[in-house]
Amino acid sequence: MSEQNGSGPMVDVRQVTRTFRRGRIEVPVLRGLDLEMQRGDFLALMGPSGSGKSTLLNLIAGLDRPTSGEVFVGGAAIHKLSERRLAGWRARNIGFVFQFSNLLAGLNAARNVALPLLLTSISGKERRRRVALALDIVGLSDRARHRPRELSGGEQQRVGIARALVNDPALLVCDEPTGDLDHRTSDGILDLLAALNQEHGKTVLMVTHDPAAADRAGRLLHLDDGRLVESADGEAS
Amino acid sequence: MSSLTLISAALRRKKARTFLTFSSVVFAFLMFGVLSMIRSAFSMGVDLAGEDRLVVRHRVSLFQLLPQSYEADMEELPGVVDAMHMTWFGGVYQDPQNFFMQSPVVPAEYLDMYPEIRLSEEARTRWIETRNGAVVGRATAERFGWEVGDRVPIQPTIWQQEGREDEAWEFELVGIYHSDVEGFDETQMLFRYDFFDETRSFGRGQVGWYAVRVNDPERAAEVAASIDRLFQNSAAETKSEPEGAFAAGFANQMGNIGLIVTSILGAVFFTILLVSGNTMAQSVRERVGEIGLLKAIGFTAARVQRLVLFESLTLVTSAGFFGLLLAAGLAAVVQPMFAAYMPGLFLQGRDIFIGLGLAVLTGLVVGFFPARRAMKLRTAFALRRL
């Protein structure tokens, strides 16, 4: 990750507020929030609907901008980046895992995984190597040529995770990664995320409603009404 | 894998809808090709008109005659190189449906005035030697199966023969002409004016119209004005104009073909804009989540915009190309069939280029708004639609 500092926290959110405008009314979603994540953390973020979990996740992933405050990820002040630079930064530094795998129906698993590599200048050979490695990590080497409709829900989510890994990002941002899966399949996905965290050193930020999923994380934070009000390890802001 | 893979995947997403839109665009461009051929057939005279030739006719109408003596008078005028006359004969071969253009001419003058015509030396010589000799264009010869040496009876509808009012004129076919100029009229039958003038029952010394060659095309209008001035206040005043304007006026007697064709094409392309524009807009609406995903993983707004624009261009341009290809194939089939009736009925290279340009333009216009929408889509909002 070329733009990331080797030292310091992976995520440093300082006094961030985010307000949305609905008609004439301003709705504050995040109210002066501070958060630090160290490299190698596996942090679960819980909270009721509308508490601001996804908004915070979007700010950390560079998908949205704070109304005020600062967001540093890997040492980069992403709140200052232009839209174009932010897009490039996301491509190099963030792996996204969504609730629904959101694979492109017209592409097979390997091509879905290769999507982020379209934005790089690496050779075709290196591209194939990375795709094969990512599919191997998620245990789907034998499903590379399968279209999404030929895969189960769990397999589709694994392809989504492989797509998030293929650019070798240091930070994985997961928005309800098990929200659409049954209990058993969820366990498999959470095992995979834990392995990526522990064996591959990925920092993982996961938003979830599922207490069982949250239990798999090393840290747990609760968001309520735009504030971090409680955490499993005593951290609060 | 490249961006083309993404475009291809997007187009294959709803195969039936893509196919129907593709087909409607193909049909539009097929129509464009066919209507261009028709317009070309009607405007061929305008396109092929000599810049250095004027047409001089009676001021009242083309069917009023002019004195044959005007030729020498006009040739005296400054700026005039030479002049020759033609007359509408209006005969039919065997059946009233077998109509084609015939005209008496002075062979040497005619061949000098229209160097576009290719006629063998032997035919030229025989034409001058044979009093009732006629030459005919290749299309008409093929239409009726005529060969050199045939005797061809033409039933008059205007010009009767002196003392043989109900009889057909009999011509000896001495040559078949063609032209290397694409679209040049190869349907005419031309015969000697001296034979015509001596044989006709009325109107001797009168001709239909003149073709006049000027020495400087830039001064054609000036020479035309001086010709009309020369015959002002005479019994047969003239109207002189460049050959192109004359041909356009002649074609417009049937209506403004160009305007009719352009209006039809305008309606067709407006419909196509709505149909394919709706397809693209719907396609982008359905893919808000996918577009959000692409943006999330690092595709810039400009790149997403280009993807949608290229998708639209690929769909419309390939369909347009296919439609023009069909039109060209159709032209190759019908051109020989209609050569005798509409010699200019073929798809011109110019029209193919215009068609391709139109296809690219349509693709860009159709894709513009959906591409703009995709570009402006907020990523966080779009991801909520996953």
Question: For residue range A169-216, what is the model confidence (pLDDT) as tens digits?
Answer: 889 999 888 877 778 788 888 888 888 888 888 899 999 888 888 888
Chain mean position to CA A233: 22
Residues of B with CB under 8 A from a CB of A: 1-3, 5-6, 8-10, 12-13, 289-290, 293-302, 379-380, 383, 386
- Residue B326 burial by Cβ neighbours in a 10 Å radius (0-12, 13-18, 19+): middle
Are B289 and B385 within 8 A, CB to CB? yes
Type of residue numbered B270? F
Interface contact B298-A119, CB threshold 8 A: yes
Q: What is the pLDDT along chain B (386 residues), one digit of tens a residue?
A: 677 888 888 888 888 888 998 999 999 999 888 888 887 777 665 565 667 888 999 998 878 999 999 999 999 999 999 999 999 998 999 888 888 889 999 999 999 888 889 999 999 999 989 999 999 999 899 989 999 999 999 999 899 998 888 899 999 999 999 988 877 788 899 999 999 999 999 999 999 999 999 988 888 888 999 999 999 999 899 999 888 777 766 666 666 777 788 888 888 888 888 888 888 888 888 888 888 889 998 899 999 999 999 999 999 999 999 999 999 888 888 777 766 566 667 778 888 899 999 999 999 998 999 999 989 888 877 777 65
Q: Could you tell me which chain A residue has the CA closest to the CA of B380?
A: A63
**C-beta neighbour count of A56 within 10 angstroms:** 28
- Which residues lie across from A206 on neighbouring strands? A44, A174
- Rounded to whole angstroms, how far apart are CA atoms B328 and B339? 16
Nearest by CB to B1, which of A100, A114, A175?
A114
- Rounded to whole angstroms, how far apart are CA atoms A233 and B15? 53
Question: Closest approach of chain B CAs to the CA of A191, in angstroms?
Answer: 24
- Rounded to whole angstroms, how far apart are CA atoms B173 and B170? 10
Interface contact A104-B300, CB threshold 8 A: no
Question: Closest approach of chain A CAs to the CA of B363, in angstroms?
Answer: 22
- Residue B333 burial by Cβ neighbours in a 10 Å radius (0-12, 13-18, 19+): exposed
Spell out the residues 6+ positions from residue B41 whose beta carbon is closer than 8 angstroms to its own. Answer: B338, B342, B343, B344, B345
Question: For residue range B306-336, what is the model confidence (pLDDT) as tens digits?
Answer: 999 999 999 999 999 999 999 988 888 877 7
Domains of chain A: 39-64+82-230 (3.40.50.300)
Q: What is the pLDDT along chain A (237 residues), one digit of tens a residue?
A: 345 555 688 899 999 999 988 888 888 888 889 998 999 999 999 988 888 888 999 999 999 999 999 999 988 899 899 888 999 899 889 998 887 767 888 889 999 999 898 888 888 898 999 999 989 888 888 989 999 989 988 899 889 989 988 988 889 999 888 877 778 788 888 888 888 888 888 899 999 888 888 888 888 888 887 788 655 454 433
Interface contact B297-A64, CB threshold 8 A: no
pTM: 0.68
Are B356 and B321 within 8 A, CB to CB? yes
- The backbone region for B348, taken as left when phi is positive above 0, alpha when psi lies in -120 to 50, beta otherwise, is beta
- The complex's ipTM works out to 0.86
Interface contact A84-B302, CB threshold 8 A: yes
- Rounded to whole angstroms, how far apart are CA atoms B123 and B173? 9
Are B253 and A62 within 8 A, CB to CB? no
Q: Could you tell me which chain A residue has the CA closest to the CA of B288?
A: A102
- Rounded to whole angstroms, how far apart are CA atoms A106 and B311? 14
Interface contact B386-A99, CB threshold 8 A: yes
- Rounded to whole angstroms, how far apart are CA atoms A79 and A12? 12
Structure tokens at B315: 């769909």
Structure tokens at B151: 């005797």
Residues of A with CB under 8 A from a CB of B: 54-55, 58, 61, 63-64, 83-84, 87-88, 90-92, 96, 98-100, 102, 104-107, 111, 114-119, 127, 163, 175
- The backbone region for B66, taken as left when phi is positive above 0, alpha when psi lies in -120 to 50, beta otherwise, is beta
- Rounded to whole angstroms, how far apart are CA atoms B135 and B103? 10
Interface contact A87-B299, CB threshold 8 A: yes
Are B291 and B337 within 8 A, CB to CB? no
| Element counts in chain A: helices (H) and strands (E) | 7, 10
